[in-house]
Amino acid sequence: MCILFIAFRVHPDYPLILCANRDEFHHRATAAAHYWPPEGKILAGQDLQAGGTWLGLNDRGQIAALTNIRSPANHSDNRLSRGDLPLAALQQGSHFQTWLQSHSDNYNPFNLIWGDREQLHCYNSLQRQLQPLTPGCHAISNGALDERWPKMAKGEQALEALVNRPEEPDIEALLAMMKDDSIPDDKLLPDTGVGLEWERRLSSIYICHPEYGTRSTTLILQDTQGRSRYIELRFDGKGRQLGRQQFIRNAQDETFNLKNDRG
């Protein structure tokens, strides 16, 4: 997962709106969002190489989302897969925060967002810092929360414009925001240690490249009644849409019985 935009307690009817792009090598085997066996209490896509996920929603209406922190000097091939972390957040409940702070060194650098429409937290493993998200619009990519990389600032401003209005959120406009592939001027790019060519390639909200790019876009919207809407679009290396699916979870559902509308 490479970029997240979150509107937290901004819209009057939807206190949590999350927009996420997952960027990855196109050859890395991936499963679309589905109910994870055996109990089907977690809805998430799956990285079939390491077995984890980048973003998920559980039967209690809690979300967890991961971004890698781009820090080559702090990377080791011997660490555990970061895709385990969203699953742990969705499964462990109140014990997760203590577990995370004592186990985060086992993983390469990451940001992890977890919580629900009432409370969200962000943990930065490089800084070993846990902070609650304040009401407002936030951007998280491959550095610290709310850094002002061009694509982060652009997406955050676009999200603010879309959610600071009383009407129903415009799903297609949110998806269009996540498909923005404009590249900023070189002088505005961050220096994260990967070289100018890769900084350019990774500088847009949506990355279209035959080898490495945006594999999926996910929207999660939670309303004041606890109803969750989960929308996922998947793409190939040419930016063509491979599939779209939508899941609905009502707050009164005793089990994770979401409606799956494919289209």
Convert 94-141 into a string of H (helix), E (strand) and C (coil). HHHHHHHHHHHHHECCEEEEEECCCCEEEEECCCCEEEECCCEEEEEC
Q: CA 243, 89, 20: angle at the middle one, nearest 5?
A: 35
pLDDT reported for residue 258: 56
User: Which ranges of the chain would DSSP assign to H, the alpha helix?
Assistant: 84-92, 96-103, 150-163, 171-178, 196-201
For residues 227 and 250, give the distance between their C-alpha atoms in angstroms, rounded to a whole number.
Answer: 4
Structure tokens that stand for 223 in this block: 């309303």
Which residue, chain included where needed, has tokens 């922190």? 69
pTM for the structure as a whole: 0.94
Task: Give the pLDDT of residue 93.
Answer: 82
**Residue 14 in tokens:** 């939807």
Parallel/antiparallel/unpaired status of strands 228-235 and 241-249: antiparallel
Q: How is residue 80 annotated by DSSP? A: B
Query: What pLDDT does 260 receive?
Result: 58
- Kindly calculate the radius of gyration of the chain based on its CA atoms and give it in whole angstroms: 17
Whole-angstrom distance, CA of residue 222 vs CA of residue 220: 7
pLDDT (tens, 9 = 90+) of the chain, 263 residues, equals 689 999 999 999 999 999 999 999 999 999 999 999 998 899 999 999 999 999 999 999 999 999 999 888 899 999 999 999 999 999 998 889 999 999 999 999 999 999 999 999 999 999 999 999 999 999 999 998 988 899 999 999 999 999 999 899 999 999 999 999 999 999 999 888 889 999 999 999 999 999 999 999 999 999 999 999 999 999 999 999 999 999 998 877 755 555 555 54
Number of H helices, E strands in the chain: 5, 14
Instruction: Note the pLDDT of residue 263.
Output: 44
Contact 77, 62 (CB under 8 A): no
User: Across the strands, what pairs with 5?
Assistant: 19, 139
Q: What is the DSSP letter of 186?
A: G
Residue 125 and residue 106 in contact, taking contact as beta carbons nearer than 8 Å: no
Separation CA 42–CA 67 (nearest Å): 19
Task: Provide the pLDDT for residue 256.
Answer: 57
**The dihedral of CA 177, 130, 69, 61: what is its sign?**
negative
Are 44 and 59 a contacting pair, CB within 8 Å?
no
Residue located via tokens 């955050």 = 156
**CA separation, residue 84 to residues 43, 105, 185 (Å):** 14, 13, 36
Given this model, what pLDDT does residue 59 score?
Answer: 92
Which domains, and CATH codes, for the chain?
A: 3-262 (3.60.60.10)
Q: Are 129 and 81 in contact (CB under 8 A)?
A: no
